[in-house]
């Protein structure tokens, strides 16, 4: 039996809870590479995710997770080779992550999680990432008139944010930044990919286009075989708390949502595939 602790990294509104809910629905009703394990006495207490799934069955979005919440759900799984895995899946209020960044301080609980995790899953919703692509060219131009009072943006460029955050986390986890070999396997989940698929279908290309500096940071610091970048749309479309979407009601949430595997442009319905990749690496 393998016990797998994953570190889930995702800011507020990045799609963590809806992915977990849809993962649960898939495992239960439409399994792919991974399946729920039953019959060997493993306890399945997934009530926190039942609530999410119930909302989705009514065609509505689930709620935002409150800032101070941190919960861990045990998924008893079996993989494609019939190996049993106990996967501890965390969900938390995503504000905790920017808080770590802002305060430059990591709580004892997060420290323990960082040091005890074997693989990292990073949720990035590209449509919501703020960048300042023309900042350098603006700096380079010499003003011809009296410069206006400079306005300081209060949100960091997302390239810098993610690079600095990962550096901090590696430091606390005791992972060398110099050697590629010591890095944990990293799955980048580009969430809500339906929002950007018209612009770019291949996940790594989408990341490179929106966050070029961060993409090259990953290439420099993580080995290729330990990194995979996926496009994930847990819902396939936007839902609101009152959307009562007919596709979700008529066909069921397990028939909604898709993933695009690294370096591909085709959608697959198996939302467990990014997880299956990381579980094989750890």
Q: Give residues in contact with ligand GTP (CB under 6 A).
A: 10, 12-18, 61, 64-65, 93-94, 192, 194-195, 233-235, 237-239
Task: Tell me the three state secondary structure of residue 91.
Answer: strand
Q: What does 90 bind: ligand GTP, Mg ion, none (CB cut-off 5 to 8 Å by kind)?
A: none
Please report whether residue 187 would count as binding Mg ion according to CB under 5 A: no
Least Å from the CB of residue 74 to Mg ion? 18
CB-based contacts of 195-198 (< 8 A; 24+ apart in sequence): 195/125, 195/126, 195/127, 195/238, 196/126, 196/127, 197/231, 197/233, 197/260
Which lies closer to ligand GTP via its Cβ, residue 219 or residue 243?
Answer: 243
Please report whether residue 14 would count as binding Mg ion according to CB under 5 A: no
Of 162, 149, 156, 161, the closest CA to residue 135 belongs to 156
Q: What does 61 bind: ligand GTP, Mg ion, none (CB cut-off 5 to 8 Å by kind)?
A: ligand GTP
Please report whether residue 22 would count as binding Mg ion according to CB under 5 A: no
232: exposed, middle or buried (Cβ count in 10 Å: 0-12, 13-18, 19+): buried
Q: Which among 11-19, 187-195, 206-214, 259-267 is the span making contact with Mg ion, rule CB under 5 A?
A: 11-19
What is the residue whose two structure tokens read 């299956």?
276
Which lies closer to ligand GTP via its Cβ, residue 110 or residue 175?
Answer: 110
Please report whether residue 65 would count as binding Mg ion according to CB under 5 A: yes
Distance CA 242, CA 236 (A): 17
Q: Measured at CB, which residue is nearest to ligand GTP?
A: 94
Q: Which among 25-33, 58-66, 107-115, 177-185 is the span making contact with Mg ion, rule CB under 5 A?
A: 58-66
The Cβ of residue 277 has, within 10 Å, a number of other Cβ atoms equal to 17
Q: Which among 9-17, 80-88, 228-236, 271-279 is the span making contact with Mg ion, rule CB under 5 A?
A: 9-17
Distance CA 89, CA 27 (A): 13
The number of residues making up the chain comes to 282
Contacting positions for Mg ion (CB under 5 A)? 16-17, 65
């Amino acid at each position: 039996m393998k016990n797998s602790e994953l570190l889930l990294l995702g800011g507020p509104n990045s799609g963590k809870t809806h992915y977990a809910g849809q993962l649960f629905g898939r495992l239960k009703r439409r399994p792919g590479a991974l399946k729920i394990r039953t019959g060997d006495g493993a306890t399945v207490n997934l009530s926190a995710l039942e609530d999410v799934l119930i909302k989705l069955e009514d065609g509505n979005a689930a709620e935002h997770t409150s800032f101070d919440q941190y919960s861990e759900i045990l998924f008893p799984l079996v993989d494609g080779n019939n190996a049993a895995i106990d996967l501890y899946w965390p969900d938390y209020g995503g504000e905790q992550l920017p808080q770590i960044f802002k305060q430059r301080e990591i709580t004892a609980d997060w420290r323990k999680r960082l040091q005890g995790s074997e693989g990292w899953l990073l949720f990035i919703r590209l449509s919501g990432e703020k960048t300042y692509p023309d900042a350098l060219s603006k700096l380079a131009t010499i003003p011809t008139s009296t410069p206006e009072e400079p306005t300081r943006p209060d949100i960091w460029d997302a390239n810098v944010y993610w690079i600095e955050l990962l550096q901090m986390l590696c430091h606390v986890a005791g992972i060398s930044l110099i050697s590629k070999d010591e890095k944990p396997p990293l799955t980048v989940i580009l969430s809500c990919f339906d929002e950007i698929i018209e612009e770019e279908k291949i996940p790594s290309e989408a990341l490179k286009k929106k966050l070029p500096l961060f993409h090259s940071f990953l290439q420099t610091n993580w080995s290729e075989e330990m990194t995979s970048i996926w496009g994930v749309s847990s819902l396939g479309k936007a839902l609101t708390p009152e959307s009562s979407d007919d596709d979700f009601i008529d066909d069921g949430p397990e028939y909604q949502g898709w993933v695009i595997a690294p370096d591909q442009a085709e959608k697959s319905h198996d939302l467990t595939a990014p997880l299956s990749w990381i579980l094989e690496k750890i």
